Structure 1
Amino acid sequence: MPGQFEPMPGGGAAVALDEVEISIIRSLAVQLLELIGPGPGGEVSDDPLAELFAEGPSEPPADPVMKRLLPDAYGGPGGENGSAGDPDETRAYSAEFRRFTENDLRAKKRDDALVVIRCLDATTAAGDGGAVLKLSVEESRHWLGALNDLRLAIGTRLEVTDEEDADLLYRLPDTDPRKPMVMAYLWLGGLQETLVGTLLD
C-alpha cells in the first residue's frame, strides 16, 4: 500500500502516507485554495436563491494556472482548437458560458481541496507521524478532483503541454531547481492513477 491507493472492502480507498507526504499534500491543497479564492463576495449569502443566480466573471483569469483550471468552454485563444466559427463569436459564447458557470466550478474545486485538508487533518489527529488514510467513495471523488487540479497547476508552472514535455521531466538533473516540483508532479500523478483504479474496481 505505501505510495499508492488500494481499494477497501465495501468501497472507498486507502493509502499509507508518512508525515512528510501528508505535509506536502496538505500544503499544496492550501495553496490551491488560496489560488482559487474565497468565492463571490468572500462569504456565503443568506439568500440561497441569490447565490444560485449569482453571475461570475466573463473574462478568463490572467494567471496561467487559473486559466488552465478554468478554461474557456468554446475553442481556445483566438478561436482555435477545432472552432471553425468567427473568433469574436467564439469569445462571446465563452464569456457567456463562463459568466454562469465559473462560480460553481470554483466552488467545486474549493470543496475538493477542503475535503483533502479535512481528511488529512482527521488522519493526523488520530495518530502520530505517518498514517493510513482511509477514504469513503465520496471522499475519493473529491480527492480525485483535487489531485487533478494540483497536477494541472504544477504542470502549468512547469510548462508541461504534452507527453513529450512530461518525458523530459524524468530526465532533469537533480541540480535543476524545478526538480522538487517535478517530483511532486510525478508523485501526485501516481496517486491519481491508483485512486482512479480503486473507483473503477
Structure 2
Amino acid sequence: MAGHFEATPDGGAAVALDEVEIAILRSLAVQLLELIGPGEEPTEGEDPLAALFTEGPSEPPADPALARLFPEAYGDEDRELRAASAEFRRFTENDLRTRKREDALTVVQSLDALSPAGDGGAVLALTADQSRGWLGTLNDLRLTIGTRLEVSEEEEGEDGSLYRLPDSDPRKPMVMAYLWLGALQETLVETLMP
C-alpha cells in the first residue's frame, strides 16, 4: 500500500503516507484553496433560492492556472462562440468553484484527522465520496502545477524531459510533486473503477 491507493471493501480507498507526504499534500491543498478563493458568503437574511441563481463572472480568469481550472466552454474562434462561452461561464463557474473548494477541504480535513503511527506516518482511509473529492483535488493540483511549470505532453511522457531534469534545476521539487501526484491520481482512479 505504501505510495499508492488500494481499494477498500466498502468502496473507498486507502493509502499509507509518511509525515512528509502528509505535510506536502496538506500544503498543496491549502494553496489550491487560496488560489480558488473563498467564495461568496450569502448575505444575512438573503433568500437561499436567490443565492442559487447568483450569476458568476463572464470573463475567463487572468491567471493561467485558474484559466486551466476554469476553461472556456466553447473556445474563442468567433464572436458567437465567445458569447456562448461567457454565458456558460456566468451560470456555471460559481458552482464549479464551490465544488473544487469542497473537494480541497475534504483533502485537508481527512489529512488533519489522521493519527500518526510511531514512525510519523499513517494510513489514510477514505470513503467512496471522499475518494471522489480527493480525485478532483489531485487532478486540480496537477493541472495547476503543470500550468505553472508549462508542462507539455511531450515532456510528461515516460521518455520526456521531466524525468531527466538535473537536481540543480529549480523546477525539480515541483516536478517531483507533479509526478508523485500523478501516480497517486492514477492508483486512486484504479480503485474507483468497477
TM-score (norm 2): 0.93
Q: CA RMSD in A?
A: 1.2
Alignment of 1:107-126 (within 5 A): 107-124=98-115
Deviation at residue 106 of structure 1 after TM alignment: 0.3
User: What is the CA distance between 1:35 and its match in structure 2?
Assistant: 0.4
What is the Cα deviation at residue 10 of structure 1?
2.3
Asked if 1:140 corresponds to 2:131, the answer is yes
Q: Distance in 2 between matches of 1:191 and 1:95?
A: 34
Quick one: distance in 1 between partners of 2:2 and 2:42?
39
Asked if residue 186 in structure 1 is aligned to residue 176 in structure 2, the reply is no
Pick closer, same or farther for the CA change 1:130–1:39 going to 2, 3 Å. Answer: same
Q: CA deviation at 1:127?
A: 5.0
Number of the residue aligned with 1:172? 165
User: Where does 1:77-156 land on structure 2 (aligned, <5 Å)?
Assistant: 78-79=76-77, 87-124=78-115, 127=117, 129-156=120-147
3-state SS of paired residue (1:59): coil
Q: Give the letter aligned to residue 96 of structure 1.
A: E
Superposition deviation, residue 9 in structure 1: 1.4
The one-letter code of the counterpart of 2:168 is T
Q: Does 1:2 align with 2:2?
A: yes
Query: Over residues 82-113 of structure 1, what are the superposed CA-to-partner deviations in whole Å (9 max), with x where a residue is unaligned?
Result: xxxxx111111100000000000000000000
Consecutive unaligned residues in structure 1, runs of 5 or more = 80-86
SS of the aligned residue for 1:33 comes to: helix
- Whole-angstrom CA distance in 2 between matches of 1:72 and 1:160: 20
Give me the whole-angstrom Cα distance separating, in 2, the residues matched to 1:48 and 1:36.
23
Residue aligning to 1:68: 68
1:174 to partner: Cα distance: 0.8
Paired residue for 1:198?
A: 191
Question: Secondary structure at the residue paired with 1:55?
Answer: coil
CA distance in 2, matches of 1:115, 1:156: 23
Output the amino acid matched with 2:190.
G
Matches within 5 A, 1:21-32: 21-32=21-32
Aligned position for 1:37: 37
**2:88 and 2:152 mapped to 1: Cα distance?**
25
For 2:71, give the aligned amino acid.
Answer: P
Aligned length: 188
